[in-house]
Amino acid sequence: MDERTLVLVKPDGVQRGLIGEVVSRIERKGLRLVSLELKTVDRSLAEQHYAEHEGKGFYEELLSFITSAPVAAMVVEGPRAVAAFRQIAGGTDPVEKAVPGSIRGDLALETGSNIVHGSDSPESAEREIKLWFG
Ligand code: DAT
Ligand code: MG
């Protein structure tokens, strides 16, 4: 039974020209791209997307970062797509929790600019896909 997940290439990834690299890793894993759109993120979308982090010390920084420049939003599909993309992405902190061979482990240096977002559960994925793609 296939599932879907929301993937974002965040502003750092787009500015560094890494959309193709991320898409390539998704496709090589065997996952499928269902939708892909470049989007400018307004404050309201950012707040809804990151609602679980409201009140944390890095929340404001997170919102200004995600609204600073376009992101590439995609819906990705396949068996266990949520967990599969989290594996491809690697740990949140790309150094302390480095996963060699992962997007963050290979290509990122700081937690605040770790290139990609992937939904953390099928329930989050459903909420986030509605939010980003209606
Ligand atoms: P993930 O993106 O791996 O799901 P998360 O949901 O815990 O991680 O956090 C969302 C984003 O917020 C994360 O990709 C980068 C940023 N972030 C998380 N923890 C942080 C911290 N301690 N300092 C700065 N930024 C942080
Ligand atoms: Mg998360």
- Residue 95: name the closest of 81, 84, 107 by CA: 107
d(CA 11, CA 8): 9
Say if residue 92 carries a ligand binding annotation: yes
Q: Over the stretch 3-60, which tens digit does the pLDDT of each residue have? A: 999 999 999 999 999 999 999 999 999 999 999 999 999 999 999 999 999 999 999 9
CATH number, domain at 35?
A: 3.30.70.141
* pLDDT score at 98: 85
Atom of ligand 1 nearest to the CA of 89: 3
Pocket of ligand 1 (CB under 6 A): 58, 62, 92, 111-112, 114, 117, 120
Please report whether residue 55 resides in a domain: no
Give the closest residue to 71 by CA, choosing from 1, 122, 7: 7
Give me the pLDDT at residue 1, please: 82
In a domain, 28, yes or no: yes
Q: Per the structure, how many domains does the chain have? A: 1
**117 is in which domain, residue-wise?**
2-39+72-133
